[in-house]
Amino acid sequence: MSQLVLDLKCLKDKIATNYDIHNNVYGGNGMEPNIIHPSKRFRIVVRLVDFLFCKSDEEFIKGFFCQMIVRNLHCLNSTNGAEEMRLYMSERLFSAHKDDLRLINGQVLDVRIGVWYGIHQSPPIFEIIDFKILSRNDVRDFCEFVKSPLGEKFLNISNS
């Protein structure tokens, strides 16, 4: 399952905690780790800031086409409204949406993310699996729902 997350900073903290645990445990023994770390999936509703195209000289991001820079929705995060995040994107996914005229800066997106833990000592990679462009009605209903008591319960179920 994927977890529904509202705050990008919260998302980063979750991944950082997991990464440190795995890194410290196996780094402390001095042994070469030879395990596959579990992947994580998340679902976020964010605002599109911009696209950055990747430089081809970095080895660990070989195969990714670009990065999508996203930001928290102000209506959901009064303290972390300016929190941003960079999400890697494959060329296939970019090609599928590049001609969509609605895909402009400032658009609110429903993004599904996969977090991959790479080789030893490498930082985790956030990849966009899929995303959808949300309408104004969708955004309004979503904000109302997550603020209601029923929405809080659902978020607890999703992140339990």
Partner 1 sequence: MDKYGHIAHQEGDVCYYIPRLFKYNSYYSGTEDVRIFVGDLKYRMRVSLQICEKYYDRRLSMLFWKNHPLQQIHLIGCIIGLQFKWIGKQEYIFFQLDDCTSDSSLVGYTSDMRFLTCKVKKDSILSWGLNITDLIGLTLHVYGQASLNYQELQVEYLRLCYSLTEEIDHWKITMNMREQLDTPWSLSDFVIGELFTQEQEWTPETSQIEVVNPDFVGIGYKTPESKRNETTFIEQLQEERLKDELEIISPYNSTDTSNSVHSLSFRFVSSLKDFPETHFLNSGDQIDNGNDEQLKKLEYQSANLPVMIPNRTSAKSNLMLILLGLQMKEISNSDLYKLKEVRSVVTSLASFLFQQQNVGVMKSFDSLEKEAFRDLVNRLVSQGLIGLKDKTSETFDLLPLKNLFEYAEKRISVLMKLQCYTGTVQLSHVQEKLHLPYITTNGIVDVFKECLKRTKKQYPEVLKNWWIDLDPKNGMEDQNSGILLHLEYAAAYS
Tell me, rounded to whole angstroms, the distance of Cα 27 from its chain centroid. 26
Which structure tokens are listed for 64?
């990714």
Least distance (Å) between residue 140 CB and partner 1: 9
Q: For partner 1, what does the binding mask look like between residues 83 and 112, x meaning CB under 8 A?
A: ---------------------------x-x
What φ, ψ does residue 7 adopt, rounded to 5°?
Answer: -110, 125
Q: Are 49 and 84 in contact (CB under 8 A)?
A: yes
Confirm or reject binding of residue 4 to partner 1 (CB under 8 A): yes
- Whole-angstrom distance, CA of residue 23 vs CA of residue 26: 6
Nearer to partner 1, 20 or 130 (CB): 130
Least distance (Å) between residue 149 CB and partner 1: 10
Which of the stretches 8-16, 57-65, 67-75, 150-158 binds partner 1 when contact is defined by CB under 8 A? 150-158
Confirm or reject binding of residue 3 to partner 1 (CB under 8 A): yes
CA quadruple 150, 155, 158, 160: dihedral positive or negative? Answer: negative
Nearer to partner 1, 60 or 145 (CB): 145
**CB-based contacts of 9: which residues, under 8 Å, 6+ apart?**
72, 80, 83
Which residues make up the interface to partner 1 (CB under 8 A)? 1-4, 38, 41, 43, 110, 112, 129-130, 132, 134-135, 137-138, 141-142, 145, 150-151, 153-154, 157-158, 160
